[in-house]
Amino acid sequence: MKLYDLELSGNCYRVRLLLSLLGQPVQLVNVNLGAGENRQPWFLALNPRGQVPVLDDDGFVVWDTLAIMTYLARKAGGEKWLPSDPKNMARVMQWLAVMENETQYGLARARVIASMGFPGNLEEAQKIGLRVLGILEARLTAHDWLALPHCTLADIGCFPYVALARQGGLPLDDYPAILRWIARIKSLQGYVAMPGV
């Protein structure tokens, strides 16, 4: 498998982490966004959105972390990461909706504005970030994992931008349940880190 990747991207990190937890070897191909490689015709042929990550599994090309994680979980993860039982699948999907929305528009956006000089409304992003941290803290105070009694795609999906929240000016000191959950993820067999996590 080949992953078109960027080391500092939390979106790409989700996929690298899942691949490692699944024990799947991968060849990483760094895409230089700063040099506009993602806007070159060869890359747009892989992903018309011009974004990383993109996975190429022996000629099967899929883009977007949600789609890639779904593919990998169902291909190599049995019933563990994204169960096929309707209720348990829905339990995982509702937290993946949080990954797609609040963690992205709150935590991830605050990070790129505060730490990487991207334009945008930091206060607005932090407000959304604080709201999602509150939701996660409440859930994780009562449960070890977000969706099911074990780690699933829901946890791996939400993890990167929560663990990087400090870079968006949102330290996690007041979120003990989130900190315990981060430690739990870090102790999983096959865990790999990224800079800042």
Ligand X SMILES: N[C@@H](CCC(=O)N[C@@H](CS)C(=O)NCC(=O)O)C(=O)O
d(CA 17, CA 130) in angstroms, rounded, equals 25
Shortest Å distance, C-beta 174 to ligand X: 27
Shortest Å distance, C-beta 52 to ligand X: 4
Are 175 and 130 in contact by the 8 Å Cβ rule? The answer is: no
Q: Does 33 bind ligand X (CB under 6 A)?
A: yes
d(CA 187, CA 181) in angstroms, rounded, equals 10
Q: Which stretch binds ligand X (CB under 6 A): 4-12, 20-28, 133-141, 161-169?
A: 4-12
The footprint of ligand X on residues 56-75 (CB under 6 A) is: 64-66
Shortest Å distance, C-beta 15 to ligand X: 8
Instruction: Tell me the two tokens of residue 5.
Output: 């990747």
Are 145 and 155 in contact by the 8 Å Cβ rule? The answer is: yes
Q: What is the number of alpha carbons within 13 Å of residue 49 lying toward its C-beta?
A: 8
Which of 38, 103, 152, 167 binds ligand X (CB under 6 A)? It is 38
Q: In the chain, helix, strand, coil percent, each to 5?
A: 55, 10, 35
Judged by CB, which is closer to ligand X: 6, or 182?
6
Which of 21, 26, 51, 163 binds ligand X (CB under 6 A)? It is 51
Judged by CB, which is closer to ligand X: 55, or 175?
55
| Cβ-based neighbour number of residue 84 at 10 Å | 9
Q: Which stretches of the chain bind ligand X, using CB under 6 A?
A: 6, 9, 11, 33, 38, 50-53, 64-66
